[in-house]
A and B are shown apart, each in its own frame.
Chain A
């Protein structure tokens, strides 16, 4: 807000000085000369990077941030690239035209429509608001360095940081590939996940959704870039202001660690991997069992079922765990194809119990043998198949499992491994299929 007032006051000053020709020349140069110098200097800064800029774009203080890559050309052309929900999560480049004008100070304006940038400003029916992002910017010279320029949105007064792109990003797709990679091990498919922001030893529990953390109903906008996570407004506790974070491990991260000087802070998963998978969240989530990499004991039971099905020309296509909302039950689902090519599915309901219930490391599956449910699909093939099915279900469900990350880090495990506490050869992995 202070910056906004500053701009208004400066606007008034420039208006006073430039509007009247007989104003005393207290700066040694006329107002027109000084504003032209400011415009030229701003243009030179914008044109300076060989490979363009990384723009950390925020529409409002609390909204999600999205990295955009921007390249300005001398002939007024500007190219903006992004890969976010406004581009259907595909890489998109858009060409348009910009100018730096006298707008009560040197003002960068993206003055023809750019599909990537203006997606944040498009008004939406019926309230006419949309994301309400800026596309006209002043430059904050006090924060401009050789490598970085800070833009100030004209309407909202938000600070938009632009950093010169390194040579390794001369091909912009490299940047977005790196961004996709860091997104995959952190937030991809992770809506609703719980995190703990710790600054100087303690801090709030947060819930994640689309590059925003929520503390209750209060949103905290952040941006994810290949260099890490950046909170727009930062979080202060005990005199320590945490803004910038990096992963502790690029391949299998367990947390974000603050990189700001003199600040001890981190963003960590609140729960163990099993809880973070939200298997009891009663959502439409589906977890696929990778039945081709099961342990020896599990494989034996599974192969017996497959062999029995082959005799009837039926083949298993997929095995999932899911929550069936229509009956409020967890289920093991077999998707299989019968001889005429028709694909069918069978649901076998089960219960699970966490130990402890809030932040579990083990889970116990139970199955009521009297309730055959989906085993009925095997009956058409004969009693042998039913027995094989029961044997598999009992092998899988009459167990207590310890759960650990199979790949990816604790921040967003891509595979979880379930290992039976009484038989290490009875194990299987699952991954999120559909969230």
Chain B
């Protein structure tokens, strides 16, 4: 085993030491020449991804899984082709175009992830009894798992496994570029549990001043969970969460709700000042679009407009 580690370490060193990478001035991908292959059976989808992601948002939407691009500690399988199409269409509508409309078309081109990478299966963590929903690597790549089980008109499901994850990971990317106020990490400093968060229920965590149990793992996760939950949850669900939090007395003067709202104010203010993002407007746009998708007709329209009507439902 030691030999394997050493070999792979050498390989990694050799391959990185001799390269000198330069990003194109306009972004990571060359948009002067279409990069999709006209001879492939997937050319229609590849063209859609080129026009709607590479050209528009300077982002590569990778649905063809190369295991070398995955976390090799997991056993993973690729995404289904039809599910990839559905997720590409929904991601554009529920995530990218929201920022395009509310913040401006160049915002994601400059600050968004460069790669969205789809994986068909879950990523199980057997030692912890958890599964990883998504990862953001160095502000460049967002990996989404469990794509083969996606339910395209079930917003609760879409948020749980994909769009909450995307907003969560994108918030990581933003704070990796401009740090959020250090004050945030001090609010619940004594209550974070990086290895034991999964032993808390959401309800228990909310009473302690966290929006979810995962938020109680560490400060930066807490910060992005506040943002991603506020954007994707309905007002009714957000209020219900605060009601639960209010029943927890965290200190002599503050309940869980007070703590969460304090964190929320910091996050909202930081988005405004650091990024010129109106969190309320962003949320309103997301909520409007989510409600439309749940009506099914909009989903069918989006698939038709994108040219993939035949992939709207399983055959």
Contact = CB atoms under 8 A, between A and B. Distances in A.
A75 B148 contact: no
Contacts of B306: none
B59 interface: no
Interface string B121-139: 1111110010100000000
B64 A123 contact: no
A103 B70 CA distance: 13
B107 to A, nearest CB: 31
Contacts of A20: 14, 18
Residue with the highest number of chain A CB atoms closer than 10 Å, among B41, B84, B131: B41
A12 B64 contact: no
Question: How big is the A interface, by class?
Answer: 35 or more
A45 to B, nearest CB: 19
24 contacts: A12-B7, A12-B10, A15-B15, A16-B14, A19-B15, A20-B18, A96-B78, A96-B81, A97-B64, A103-B68, A111-B64, A112-B63, A112-B64, A112-B65, A113-B77, A113-B81, A118-B78, A122-B121, A123-B75, A123-B122, A123-B123, A126-B129, A128-B122, A136-B67
Contact of A125 (B19, B120, B124): B124
Given A97-B81, A123-B123, 9 more contacts: A19-B18, A74-B39, A76-B41, A111-B64, A113-B83, A123-B77, A125-B122, A128-B125, A135-B67
B4 interface: yes
A112 B19 CA distance: 30
Nearest to B130: A126
Nearest to B42: A97
Contacts of B129: 126
A123 B124 contact: yes
Give the secondary structure class of A's interface.
Answer: loop
A129 interface: yes
B40 interface: yes
Given A109-B67, A126-B126, A128-B125, A15 B14 contact: yes
B175 interface: no
A21 B15 CA distance: 11
A112 B74 contact: no
B42 A76 contact: yes
A126 B78 contact: no
Interface residues of B, number: 40
Contact of B41 (A21, A77, A136): A77
Contacts of B157: none
B11 interface: yes
Contact of B75 (A15, A16, A73, A128): A128
Interface string A82-124: 0000000000000011010101100001111100001001110
Interface of A: 8-9, 11-12, 15-16, 19-21, 73-77, 96-97, 99, 101, 103-104, 109-113, 118, 121-123, 125-130, 132, 135-136, 154-155
Nearest to B63: A112
A130 B63 CA distance: 22
A21 B18 CA distance: 8
A126 B64 contact: no
Contact of A121 (B66, B75, B123): B75
Given A8-B4, A128-B125, A73 B80 contact: no
Contacts of A99: 64
Contacts of B4: 8
B79 interface: yes
B7 A127 contact: no
A12 B11 CA distance: 6
A136 B17 CA distance: 27
A20 B15 CA distance: 8
